[in-house]
Amino acid sequence: MKRIVLFLATNVAIMVVLGITVHVLGLNQFMAGGQLNLTMLLAFSAVLGFGGSFISLLISKKVAKWSTGAQVIETPRNPTEQWLVQTVQRFAQKANIPMPEVAIYEGAPNAFATGPSKNNSLVAVSTGLLQSMSREEAEAVLAHEVAHIANGDMVTLTLIQGVVNTFVFFLARVVGFFVDQFLRKDDSQSSGTGMGYFITVIVMEITLGILASIIVMYFSRQREFRADSGAATIMGSRQPMISALKRLGGMQAGELPSNMAASGISGKGGVMALFSSHPPIEQRIEALAQQR
């Protein structure tokens, strides 16, 4: 329940901020006198599309800690925490990135990396993963998360999400405008937009949003292949990552909050693979096995 409340509260806060921003900038005045100002509409769409993505990126570490209950290791309290910090530090040095924050959270096997930049990142691992994997397998997962940071995957996915969001907002309102004009072509007395506009915008945002999510998830799956390859490079061998993936394939990965699903380690097959942020485990193993 806490995760749901935090997710909803975060999104409501983002939309309020963006709503105030477009109002102050006057970007919400993209329709006047029955005419559509495409330049103003594109600016309006870009503020909403990129604004939401970048605000989410900027607060990603805080939201991740709140929603998972992850506790950052300030001073290691036991050998496991000591090993965890030293391992991430060693991998960060190999990947030539600043030391990320390292955290542990209670839960089923999973791990994630998040943060607004390479200089401000977080690697978190669940107690379930540490308990169910060998040290070498857990190291491979940590190397995978460090590779995500080194590749700048959080920023890349944010930019892609921003672009597709912008076009969803833009195209939905363009189609809504013309549908509304068509429905009201014989009504010269009316001014402003009618119900046809609002209904069309809602339907188009849902439809285009579904198509856009397929695009975003495709890029998310590609970054997983790159992070697997990066983990093999960091560790000097692809076998530990292959072993870790095989282990993950035989267990139920822990659920992450919906706003962090793309940061985890799970993957789906079948039709739902189009909407999955991660490729099926079998494909990841095959890609690693064929890597030279």
Residues annotated as part of the active site? 145
Phi, psi angle pair for 233, to nearest 5°:
-65, -45
Q: At what angle do helices 239-249 and 281-289 cross, to 10 degrees?
A: 160
- What is the C-alpha separation between 79 and 7, in angstroms, rounded? 34
Q: Which residue has the tokens 């998830």?
A: 217
CA angle 165, 122, 274 (to 5 degrees): 40
Q: What is the H or E stretch that residue 271 is in?
A: none
Listed residue (227, 229, 230, 265) closest to 247, CA to CA = 265
Sheet holding 71-72, edge to edge: 71-72, 101-105, 120-126, 111-117
Output the CA torsion sign for 123, 126, 131, 137. Answer: negative
- Alpha helices (runs of H) in 59-186, residue ranges in sequence order: 60-68, 79-94, 127-132, 135-150, 153-183
